[in-house]
Amino acid sequence: MAKLGVVRMRAGRGEEAIALFRRAIEREPKNGEALLYLAGALASGGRPAEALPFFERAIAAGQRSAMALNGLALTRLDLGDRAGAAEAFRESLRLDPEQPDVVRTLAEITRGGATD
């Protein structure tokens, strides 16, 4: 179901993909891959408040990767949580230090001292 959702996303059918991801999660609430796909679909669809808990659940379910952490960070940033975004970006850089865009974004949001 999650893979079909990915196909729908790539075809520009985001709402159908979101419905498939939600069904996959209903069947397997700890399916980290489906949680991450749903989070990404919601975030890319301009729904960061809905996406945030799914990023967090995906990471808790074992999807701890630079990609997942960057998605979490960007979603937190969209919601105005600069400190939370910085924390997620730092964790992402611990996993993969070769991310110049993340280094640059982290510097921008932490410039001038403390984050929000």
CATH number of the domain at 45, please. Answer: 1.25.40.10
Tally the domains of the chain.
2
Q: Which domain holds residue 49?
A: 1-63
Backbone angles phi, psi at 30, to 5 degrees: -105, 20
- Residues 8, 49, 105, CA angle at the centre, nearest 5°? 90
Domain co-membership, 11 together with 35: yes
CA atoms of 115 and 99, how far apart (whole Å): 21
pLDDT of residue 88: 98
Domain co-membership, 81 together with 116: yes
Lowest mean pLDDT among 2-6, 61-65, 79-83, 85-89: 2-6
**Does residue 13 register a pLDDT over 70?**
yes
Helices (H), the chain: 2-10, 14-27, 32-44, 48-60, 66-78, 82-95, 100-110
pLDDT of residue 115: 43
Domain co-membership, 33 together with 9: yes
